[in-house]
Amino acid sequence: MSGPLVLGIETSCDETGVGIVRGNQLLANEVASSMELHARFGGVVPEVASRAHLEAMVPTLERALATAGVDPVELDAIAVTAGPGLMGALAVGVATAKASALAWDKPLYGVNHLVGHVAVDLLDHGELPTPCAALLVSGGHTSLLMVRDVVGDIVELGATIDDAAGEAYDKVARVLGLSYPGGPVIDKAATGSPTAIAFPRGLTSRRDLERHRYDFSFSGLKTAVARWVEIAERDGVDYELGDVAASFQEAVCDVLVTKALDACRTNGIEHLLIGGGVAANSRLRSMLAERAPEAGVEVRSPRPALCTDNGAMIAALGAAVVSAGLPPSSPDFSATSSLPVSTVLV
Ligand code: KG4
Ligand code: ZN
């Protein structure tokens, strides 16, 4: 195995991640999560996340170097998430990466978090067939991308106009009295009938499709579930939690799968990559297995540990960028919380 030896730092949300790769080979992937600290708030609290990154950063970096058996002098480059993400959280990673690059005299690459979710699949499945569609679904983002070249040609076909898919899971879990993060709990609780309740599919009406064909909206669905539960409880209706969870999950997955496969069909794309925490969802995976073959689409997904936020995805993108011969970022770049996906490298 060959390729550049790259260390990647990720701090855009609530995971402090440091990964080390050599080309497409994964050498270390150390992650410290502050998720438990946010649990009682039902969502990520930015200030709490920033502080947790400060505490976890150096130990996580040291663990990654030790796991990979790499001395910093050997590194060819350092890559760091420059955005999008929470400003204070991103700043911790960027400051660490700049200090390390200066101390170890290494070129520094500030890269896009969303593109990292795509590039990480290189570590599991090698070269990406292009063009490829990517459905990135997590607590912070819901994006549908067309990838022609992972280091330079990425177009956002659509994104959520309100809540992210994982955020909808987290909020609905709260409504149902389930714990945080809601995704895995609802996935497990969804043992009832997916057709028991006809929850709305956001942005799928004929009129919406004209303007928002590949965009998503989950806020109306969340409200519909809350309203349904409220009325059932008011009227003393004895309902099955499993039915509500399964019907909600069916609505989320139906929209994600329908829009992703529509994007593939319309743009002549034969490969769909899924990433982000929600990509671990069992119904999303089974629905894709049912519907993708008839759309002539092959689905790729990195292993679950690489689907959620981590440093290896940033290292993988950094290695791809270095291999493509792109120049390092200017030393005075700063984190950009709303970095567009078309900016792979700042
Ligand atoms: O990618 P991730 O670890 O962090 C970011 O949000 O960036 O994703 C976490 C999100 C949470 O909203 C969580 O509820 C959701 O992914 N999630 C799931 C599942 N596992 C995690 N959602 C649905 N089904 C799952 N099995
Ligand atoms: Zn992410």
Residue nearest to atom 19 of ligand 1 (CA): 183
Residue 139 annotated as binding site? yes
Residue 314 has pLDDT above 70, yes or no: yes
Angle in degrees, 0-180, between the axes of helices 182-189 and 241-266, rounded to the nearest 10: 110
**pLDDT-derived band at 53, boundaries 50, 70, 90:** very high
Strand partners, 109: 79
Residue nearest to atom 14 of ligand 1 (CA): 183
Residue nearest to atom 6 of ligand 1 (CA): 139
pLDDT value, residue 158: 97
Residue 80 annotated as binding site? no
**pLDDT-derived band at 332, boundaries 50, 70, 90:** very high
Going across the sheet that includes 108-112, the strands are 25-33, 15-22, 5-10, 77-83, 108-112
Is residue 309 within 6 Å of ligand 1 at its C-beta? Answer: yes
Query: Ligand 1: which of 308, 310, 314 to mutate, judged by most atoms within 8 Å of the beta carbon?
Result: 308
| CA of 279, nearest ligand number | 1
From CA 320, how far away is CA 337, in angstroms rounded? 23
Tokens 């990647």 correspond to 8
**pLDDT-derived band at 278, boundaries 50, 70, 90:** very high
From CA 23, how far away is CA 42, in angstroms rounded? 38
> Could you tell me if 111 and 344 are in contact, meaning their C-beta atoms sit under 8 angstroms apart?
yes
From CA 172, how far away is CA 221, in angstroms rounded? 9
pLDDT value, residue 285: 96
pLDDT value, residue 39: 86
pTM of the model: 0.95
Residue 138 annotated as binding site? yes
Tens of pLDDT, residue by residue over 117-163, are 999 999 999 999 999 999 999 998 999 999 999 999 999 999 999 99
Is residue 277 within 6 Å of ligand 1 at its C-beta? Answer: yes
Cα of 25 from ligand 1 centre, angstroms: 25
Is residue 281 within 6 Å of ligand 1 at its C-beta? Answer: yes
User: What mean pLDDT value characterizes the chain?
Assistant: 96
- Tell me the two tokens of residue 114: 């969303």
CA nearest to 7, candidates 67, 55, 65: 65
> Could you tell me if 318 and 36 are in contact, meaning their C-beta atoms sit under 8 angstroms apart?
no
Tens of pLDDT, residue by residue over 248-269, are 999 999 999 999 999 999 999 9
From CA 90, how far away is CA 82, in angstroms rounded? 7
Cα of 67 from ligand 2 centre, angstroms: 23
pLDDT value, residue 43: 84
Is residue 311 within 6 Å of ligand 1 at its C-beta? Answer: no
Residues in the chain: 346
Residue 83 annotated as binding site? no
For the segment 45-60, the average pLDDT, to the nearest whole number, is: 96
Residue 183 annotated as binding site? yes
Percent composition of the chain: helix, strand, coil (DSSP 3-state, to 5): 45, 20, 35
Cα of 276 from ligand 1 centre, angstroms: 7
Is residue 218 within 6 Å of ligand 1 at its C-beta? Answer: no
- Tell me the two tokens of residue 151: 């280091």
Cα of 235 from ligand 2 centre, angstroms: 40
Query: Ligand 1: which of 81, 169, 310 to mutate, judged by most atoms within 8 Å of the beta carbon?
Result: 169
**pLDDT-derived band at 272, boundaries 50, 70, 90:** very high
Is residue 181 within 6 Å of ligand 1 at its C-beta? Answer: yes
pLDDT value, residue 42: 81
Residue 222 has pLDDT above 70, yes or no: yes
Cα of 226 from ligand 2 centre, angstroms: 27
Which atom of ligand 1 is the closest one to the Cα of 13?
Answer: 7
pLDDT value, residue 1: 63
Residue nearest to atom 22 of ligand 1 (CA): 183
Is residue 280 within 6 Å of ligand 1 at its C-beta? Answer: yes
Residue 117 annotated as binding site? yes
